[in-house]
Amino acid sequence: MWGTSAMRTAGDDVAEVFALLGVRPQWDDASRRVTGLAPVPLDELGRPRIDVTVRISGFFRDAFPHVVAMLDDAVRLVAALDEPAADNYVRAHVLADVREHGDERRATTRVFGSKPGAYGAGILPLIDSRNWRDDADLAEVYAAWGGFAYGRGLDGVPARADMETAYRRIAVAAKNVDTREHDIADSDDYFQYHGGMIATVRALTGAAPAAYIGDSTQPEAVRTRALSEETARVFRARVVNPRWLEAMRRHGYKGAFELAATVDYLFGYDATAGVVADWMYDKLGEAYVLDAENRAFLERSNPWALHAIAERLLEAADRKMWQYPDPAVLDGIREAYLRTEGDLEDR
């Protein structure tokens, strides 16, 4: 849950959490402020109350402490309802945790983030340094960075064990997109927060959660797509779209940087969530490295970007993320890497 998204949408993500919990905000009509929360009756809800765990960004924590408290209130309200476990997953899980350690405050903690004063999810430096081997390494960093609890009376207390307990119960990992200004392959935050959550659940449970992207860029036509579907959509619509590539070539050094960054972000999402198919890596190699026009542009405008793209694609092959590369494409990428390596050393 990000602060900038909350500002643009006036709280869509918060409303989704309330809806899943089966909670309705109470409004003061005069001030248009939320004055309290009320549970939606089960017969009106028509389904069980869903247990929701939230990973907030540092900016959300700083900008919306009152909303963090409200999310915490909603969880504790639902946990206190006298309802059957089959109809109230929050209460069922809270009671199970209280039986284990006897602490109701810990058992109802569902909002986690970076420690006070820190920002980010910690995954990007790990990916950039290539200092990881498997899900356990990614999950270790994600939990170390994000294992701090928020809510009334918590204020970022260390709570890694409670975060991991909540994450072991995650069956669905969702991230919402509300703007066309960027997409999931246009920022490292998507793979750090969403991908990091997926990798952590996989490391803790041995199975990946179902992963979805909620698309509210057109509020009158909201869509929910599987992460794999959204990745393929963005890949075709922008990443290898000839018109976008031509637009980047008009921006010289910065355009070349954007191409390298796009490859890095896709690689990061694949490392954490396994969403980049072999055909996508093949197309990246063909369109970014082997295409004569794009190759000449990169060599002329930003050879460091060409070297970085080739190096990242070779890393994907070495790690078997790109399992069955086209031999001709892989050879071409390797040739580009070695050539730019020599050229850059001579500078």
pLDDT in tens, the chain (347 residues): 999 999 999 999 999 999 999 999 999 999 989 999 999 999 999 999 999 999 999 999 999 999 999 999 999 999 999 999 999 999 999 999 999 999 999 999 999 999 999 999 999 999 999 999 999 999 999 999 999 999 999 999 999 999 999 999 999 999 999 999 989 999 999 999 999 999 999 999 999 999 999 999 999 999 999 999 999 999 999 999 999 999 999 999 999 999 999 999 999 999 999 999 999 999 999 999 999 999 999 999 999 999 999 999 999 999 999 999 999 999 999 999 999 987 777 66
Q: Using alpha carbons, list the distances in angstroms from residue 160 to 1, 20, 106, 140, 147.
A: 18, 24, 11, 10, 4
Residue (of 243, 248, 216, 219) closest to 230 by Cα position: 216
312 neighbors 319 (Cβ within 8 angstroms)? no
DSSP state of 224: E
- Per-domain residue ranges of the chain: 3-226, 240-346
Residue (of 160, 141, 115, 110) closest to 1 by Cα position: 110
SS3 211: strand
Q: Is 156 left (phi over 0), alpha (psi -120 to 50) or beta?
A: left
* DSSP per-residue string spanning 186-214: S-HHIIIIIIHHHHHHHHHHSSPPEEEEE
The number of angstroms, rounded, from the C-alpha of 319 to the middle of its chain's C-alpha atoms is: 21
Any bridge partners for residue 28, and if so which? 33
